[in-house]
Amino acid sequence: MRIFVTQPLLGSAIQRLRALGDVTVFPDASRILPHDVLLNETATADVLCCLLQDRIDREVLDAGRSLRLIATGVVVPGNIDMAYATERGIPVTSIPNIVAETTADLQFGLLMAIARRIVEGDKALRAGVFPGSQSIHFAGGDVGGRTLGSIGLGAIGRAVARRARGFGMKVLYTQRRPLSPAEEQELGVTHSPLDDLLRESDFITLNASYHPGTHHLIGPRELGLMKPTAYLINTARGPIVDEAALAEALAGGRIAGAALDVYEREPEVHPALLGLSNVVLTPHLGSATRSVRERIASIIADNVEAFVQGRRLPNLYNPEVLGAAANGE
């Protein structure tokens, strides 16, 4: 069994995989695996262990003529051409949603960082600037008691709402199916139409899933509805935000700031954002804690182990592939 892993994994996962077959690991965790390397390695692999940043498109799947399993460390594998993988009869395994709390931590950390200008202050201090403890030089926005608007309220959005309550914040949310009154009361949230949420919120956090209907959900019109003192925080998916429009709004002072962990064309960032001081940028760190990364790696190994041993796949994302295999397709 030839197993290719697109980046190093924490914990004992690689050791466990080596007990199952011949394992090759791309050794550099500081960069995304180049697409040509992915093609070359997939061409000889029986099992591909990949992560969110790895684009498993038709070209990769065609290269992997021997592929029998794709084990990904993603909750919803939007980076994989699922229809074609299923057509090819290749099972794809995912992971349960174990990233919500960790991503919520980062989202709220980004909120604090942009409002209180923490990154700007750090850079200034290292450059020898110290304006004094009561200077207005780094005056930022208040957080406690302000209004947070969450676009989408899944597991991450709910986790952020719980954190916001600790800061005495009013929490609005919008999504297609509102929660029940009992759920809203328990979380301390209020449903709001999108436009009203944009107008009323001091902080807007993106927690929606990405699909064609949410592409550029936040564009020039939506940014124009926001308060000039408001902040946008995106830890969901980059294409939900029109980055060019956001950069223009930030440069023109039409909103106070933004904090982004995800981007339209990762790993690329819109160049107009890079020179702005009122935006905090992180390289997709949402679930990047050692404990969560180790759990993800362990689940990937669990899935591969079940496949090699002929057991039911515990996290099969495309179960319809089993019917195709049974029918000889």
Match 């940028």 to its residue by tokens: 281
Q: Provide the CB-side half-sphere exposure for 161 (13 A, CA).
A: 26
Residue in 117, 158, 284, 293 annotated catalytic: 284
C-alpha dist (Å) from residue 154 to 75, 146, 202, 209, 317: 13, 21, 20, 9, 19
Do residues 262 and 103 touch, judged by C-beta distance below 8 A?
Answer: no
Query: What's the pLDDT score for residue 322?
Result: 85
Q: Residue 31 phi/psi, 5° resolution?
A: -145, 155
- Please state the rounded mean pLDDT for residues 166-177: 97
Do residues 123 and 130 touch, judged by C-beta distance below 8 A?
Answer: no
Query: What's the pLDDT score for residue 323?
Result: 72
**Cα dihedral 31→35→37→39 (10° resolution):** 150
284 as an active site residue: the answer is yes
pLDDT at 329 over 50: no
Residue in 237, 270, 293, 295 annotated catalytic: 237
237 as an active site residue: the answer is yes
- Please state the rounded mean pLDDT for residues 228-249: 98
Query: What's the pLDDT score for residue 73?
Result: 96
CA gap 71, 75 in Å, rounded? 11
Query: What's the pLDDT score for residue 127?
Result: 97
Query: What's the pLDDT score for residue 324?
Result: 53
Q: What is the pLDDT of residues 259-290, one digit of tens each?
A: 999 999 999 999 999 999 999 999 999 999 99
For the chain, domains (ranges, CATH) are 2-97+289-326 (3.40.50.720), 100-281 (3.40.50.720)
pLDDT at 240 over 60: yes
Query: What's the pLDDT score for residue 153?
Result: 97
SS3 state at 288: coil
DSSP H/E element including 2: strand 2-5
Query: What's the pLDDT score for residue 155?
Result: 95
Q: Which residues of 206-228 are buried (b: 16+ CB within 10 A; e: fewer)?
A: bbbebeeebeebbbeebbebbbe
Query: What's the pLDDT score for residue 62?
Result: 97
Residue in 59, 87, 200, 266 annotated catalytic: 266
pLDDT at 327 over 50: no
Q: What is the mean pLDDT of the chain?
A: 95
Q: What is the pLDDT of residues 86-113, one digit of tens each?
A: 999 999 999 999 999 999 999 999 999 9
267 prior amide bond cis, ω within 30 = yes
Do residues 260 and 279 touch, judged by C-beta distance below 8 A?
Answer: yes
Query: What's the pLDDT score for residue 55?
Result: 95
Q: CA nearest 141: which of 223, 205, 228?
A: 228
pLDDT at 328 over 70: no
Do residues 175 and 153 touch, judged by C-beta distance below 8 A?
Answer: yes
CA gap 302, 296 in Å, rounded? 10
- Hey, what long-range contacts does 179-182 have (CB within 8 A, 24 or more apart)? 179/153
Q: Say what percent of the chain tops pLDDT 70.
A: 98
